[in-house]
A and B are shown apart, each in its own frame.
Chain A
Amino acid sequence: MANLTMIQAINEALGISLEQDPRTIILGEDVGHNGGVFRATEGLQAKFGENRVVDTPLAESAIIGTSIGLALNGMRPIAEIQFLGFIFETMDQIASQAARTRFRSQGRFHVPMVIRTPFGGGVRTPEMHADSLEALFLHTPGLKVVMPSNAYDAKGLLLSAIADPDPVLFLEPMRLYRLYRSEVPTEPYQIPLGKAKVVREGTHITIVTWGPMVPVTMDAVKQLQEKHNISCEVIDLRTISPIDTETIIQSVEKTNRALVVHEAVKTGGVGAEIIARINEKALYSLEAPVRRITGFDTPYPMSMVEDHWLPNSEHIINAVLETVNE
């Protein structure tokens, strides 16, 4: 056990994979000598060499496109896209190529690869660095999408993603990289993909959230308990695609109320999909409309504005009070 930040846990998982599997190759912009702009790959090139941890030329489409070829020919590439906001440069290689190769070849070929990428607001990044784009990839068949909210989950989910035979997009909330520490076992362990986690049990309402909004939600539910005696159940989705519908429905059938909290823009977001599923499978359990606390339907704003744009615990408290009192 060690008390690690999320970035340390990610670094540890990457090191384990390089150590255990000679097929693992890490590639991306500045991931080698510099150890990544957030130091996720720090020390790995020095330990495993320039053929295993590779500084690529500055080209997102080529990072993913060549990773596809590496995976086809027996390697296990872990590609880094420096910021999720840059991923549009390689949408074709992800959505039409990596995610579709198994389908197009009827299973004759597949592309086991991980795309790691930091995202999210609250750390005063320049423009176009902070977007939360998970909904685009939930809407992409053939791809899995994972998003940890703490160091322990980050290590176990990343090791599962690396072992997965399908392409996995691993979204790392950069605000959480060094915000908290948690106890992380030194040895390898896997947390299964596609399984949400009930991080707090409660009786009055279910809050479904993920990634950077998990700590914000936990702060809100603590206040709701203390000040209003409202008991919230909190689900950390952990895997965005495939969605763990079962865990959500079981919880909503127990609490009869639900709220979805995400940082990404509201319309067409993952929250909309979750609410559709609650409608399909648990409508008659509901005693109030399901609400959403999300970002606004605008581009992510400049850093002087971002604190006003991001959902906060007060928004969550108000939405819970409204829903519970309905």
Chain B
Amino acid sequence: MQTYTWNGDYPLYRVLDENGVVCGQLPSLSDDKIIEMYRWMIITRYFDQRAVNLQRQGRTGTYAPFSGQEAAQIGSFALIEKDDWLFTSYRDLAGLMYYGFPMHQSLFFSMGHPFGGHVPEGMNVLPYQIIIGAQILHAVGTAWASKLKGENRVSVTYFGDGATSQGDFHEALNFASVYKAPVIFFCQNNQWAISVPFQRQMATPTIAQKALAYGMEGIRVDGNDIFAVYNAMKRAVERGRAGEGPTLIEAVTYRLGSHTTADDPTRYRDANELMEWKDKRDPIIRLRKFLENKGIWNESMQKDAEQQAKVLVDEAIAAAESFPKPNPAEVFDYVYSTATPDLVEQKAKFLQHGGRER
């Protein structure tokens, strides 16, 4: 009898080492483009800190911070075109804001304002997903439709390491490979699914290797290395557009903050582990070192960028807090295309006197 267990090594793809020194092939990006991406990392990091503080001050509700994952998100969102399809989780606001999702609207989700889900026209971005992994299948569906219609679009879905344990993850990868759908499965392995570490989430040493079982290409990339992420995503997007089917990308990164503002990671996470990632592997520090080594960034530019971030985020917070409050009667309007007789009746009574009686 011959049995087989794959014990191969799934290498971590890198372009910048932890000191910001080039150790691979740099993408062909202009200095301006790289600086733009770096500025957005600063802006979104600042946004994240402010969003947590707003919750602490009671100005917003539960918020899921993304700090530490800016390179994984911005480096990959940079390849997504406006007519592509995007299905994210709730921890992907850095990428979404860089992509063009309005910053003030990004706060609505944690403020509990229903307008958060009203994605602006002109972008095929679905309201971010709450149910872990459910969106992965939707991306396969839109990608499949693009293929059937002969359109040159890709669908991209973002999810975390925990989502790979869901049945929907498996079903989605299987369907995508069967239909050779132009979809990119972008997994940010941030090491923790609330309190459960990666090693207890799965027995395999990597997520990327799961691609092998579906007959699709998999890439394991340093998610805190924006150039490696960019290159990996570029290849996946180009393969999708060329009709070569789906790709699974595992971006190895780290959630520097809590799962959400309702979570206390000191209960389950070793402080040394956090310091290791925070001090040595922060994606923003790494890119800054690269820029400074290249001589295209300095302390005064950094101060300007931080000031610009503060202005943008302050404006967004002011815009969010002064945005008209939701009209509660609108809950009846978006259940069906045309309100049912029951909803018409309930709305009329609600509008009359807030009542519910018959």
> Interface of A with B (CB < 8 Å)?
25, 51, 56-57, 59, 61-62, 64-75, 77, 92-93, 96-97, 101-110, 141-142, 144, 164-166, 194, 242-243, 245-246, 280-281
Checking A62, A75, A106, A144 against B168 with a beta-carbon cut-off of 8 angstroms, the contacting residue is A62
With A57-B175, A105-B117 known to touch, is A65 a contact of B333 (CB < 8 Å)?
A: no
Q: How far is the CB of A273 from chain B (nearest CB, A)?
A: 11
| Nearest CB of A to B209, in Å | 21
Query: How far, in angstroms, from A164 to B337 measured CA to CA in the complex?
Result: 9
B197 interface contact, C-beta 8 A = no
Task: Kindly provide the distance from the CB of B332 to the nearest chain A CB, expressed in whole angstroms.
Answer: 10
User: Can you name 15 A-B residue pairings with CB atoms under 8 Å?
Assistant: A57-B175, A61-B168, A61-B171, A66-B144, A68-B141, A69-B137, A69-B143, A73-B149, A102-B336, A105-B334, A108-B117, A108-B118, A141-B335, A165-B337, A242-B342
Q: Which of B124, B139, B142 has the most CB of A within 10 A?
A: B142
Given contact pairs A106-B118, A141-B335, A92 touches B141 in the complex (Cβ within 8 A): no
Contact yes or no, B171 A97, CB < 8 A: no
B1 CB-CB contact with A under 8 Å: no
Establish whether residues B171 and A102, one from each chain, have CB atoms under 8 Å apart when the complex forms: no
Main secondary structure of the interface of B (DSSP, over half): helix
Q: Evaluate contact between B85 and A97: CB separation under 8 angstroms.
A: no
Q: Is the CB of A68 within 8 A of B144?
A: no
Question: Whole-angstrom distance from the CB of B127 to the nearest CB of chain A?
Answer: 5
What's the minimum C-beta distance from B9 to chain A, rounded to whole angstroms?
30
Interface digits, B129-161 against A, CB 8 Å rule (1 contact, 0 not)? 011001011111111111011000001000000
Q: Which residues of A contact B168 (CB under 8 A)?
A: 61-62, 65, 92-93
List the A side residues contacting B130 at CB < 8 Å: 96
A105 near B126: Cβ-Cβ < 8 Å? yes
Contact status of A102 and B334, CB under 8 A, knowing A97-B134, A108-B118: yes
- Please give me the residue from chain A that is nearest to B147 by CB atom: A51
Separation of A194 and B342 alpha carbons in the complex (Å): 11
Could you list 7 further interchain pairs (A-B, Cβ under 8 angstroms) beyond the known A56-B175, A65-B134? A66-B137, A93-B137, A97-B138, A102-B335, A106-B118, A108-B117, A242-B341
Closest 10 CB pairs of A and B: A69-B141, A65-B137, A73-B145, A62-B171, A242-B340, A66-B141, A106-B118, A69-B142, A73-B142, A165-B337
- Could you tell me the distance between the alpha carbons of A160 and B336 in the complex, rounded to whole angstroms? 15
Contact call B115/A106, Cβ cutoff below 8 A: yes
B144 lies within 8 A of A70 (CB):
yes
CB-nearest residue of chain A relative to B157? A69
Distance to closest chain B CB from A153 (angstroms)? 20
Chain A residue with the shortest CB-CB distance to B155: A69
Greatest chain B CB density within 10 A among A105, A166, A243 is at A105
Render B101-140 as a binary contact track against A, CB cut-off 8 A, 1 for contact: 0000000000000110111010010110011001011111
Assess A25 versus B342: contact at CB under 8 Å? Given A66-B140, A72-B126.
Answer: no
Q: Separation in Å of the B218 CB from the closest CB of chain A?
A: 20
B287-304 near A? 1/0 per residue, CB < 8 Å: 000000000000000000
Task: Evaluate contact between B131 and A92: CB separation under 8 angstroms.
Answer: yes
Once bound together, how far apart are the Cα atoms of A243 and B342, in whole Å? Answer: 8
Selected from B114, B141, B342, the residue in CB contact (under 8 A) with A65 is: B141
- The 0/1 profile, CB within 8 Å of A marked 1, for residues 321-349 of chain B is 00000000011011111001110000000
Question: Do A72 and B149 form a contact, CB below 8 Å, given A62-B174, A246-B341?
Answer: no
- Among A69, A93, A142, which residue has the most Cβ atoms of chain B within 10 A? A69
User: B76 to nearest A CB, angstroms?
Assistant: 20
CB <8 Å contact, B174 and A59? yes
Report the minimum CB–CB distance from A47 to chain B (whole Å).
Answer: 17
- Assembly CA distance A245 to B147 (angstroms): 44
A70–B126 alpha-carbon span in the complex (Å): 14
Q: How far is the CB of A18 from chain B (nearest CB, A)?
A: 13
Closest CB of chain B to A118's CB: distance in Å? 22
Question: Are A25 and B140 within 8 A (Cβ)?
Answer: no
CB distance from A109 to the nearest CB of B (A): 6
| Given A59-B171, A141-B335; A104-B127 close (CB under 8 Å) | yes
Q: Which one of B119, B140, B174, B333 contacts A69 once the chains associate, using CB atoms below 8 Å?
A: B140
Docked complex: B18-61 residues within 8 A CB-CB of A: none
Q: Is B196 an interface residue (CB 8 A)?
A: no
Set of chain B residues within 8 Å of A110, measured between Cβ atoms: 337
Tell me, in angstroms, the Cα distance from A70 to B146 when the chains sit together. 9
Could you say which of B134, B144, B334 contacts A92, with CB atoms under 8 Å apart? B134
On whether the beta carbons of A245 and B143 are closer than 8 Å, the reply is no
Q: A75 to chain B: which residues have CB within 8 Å?
A: 145, 148
How long is the Cα–Cα vector from A129 to B255 in the complex, in angstroms?
Answer: 44
A149-B2 Cα distance, complex, nearest whole Å: 56
> With A57-B178, A62-B172 in contact, is A105–B131 under 8 Å at CB?
no
A108 to B142, CA, bound (A): 16
Chain B residue numbers with a CB within 8 Å of A246 are: 341
Chain A residue at smallest Cβ distance from B183: A69
Write the chain B residue with the least CB distance to A59: B171
Residues of the B chain whose Cβ atoms lie less than 8 Å from the Cβ of A92:
131, 134, 168
A74 proximity list for chain B (CB < 8 A) = 145, 149
* B146/A102 in contact, CB under 8 A: no
Contacts of B334 in A (CB 8 A): 102-103, 105-107
- Tell whether B167 is near chain A: CB-to-CB under 8 Å: yes
Chain A nearest Cβ from B110, distance in angstroms: 15
- Taken together as a complex, chains A and B put the C-alpha atoms of A96 and B133 apart, in Å, by 12
Is B358 at the interface (CB under 8 A from chain A)?
yes
Minimal Cβ-Cβ distance residue in B for A98: B138
Inter-subunit contact B117/A67 (CB<8 Å): no
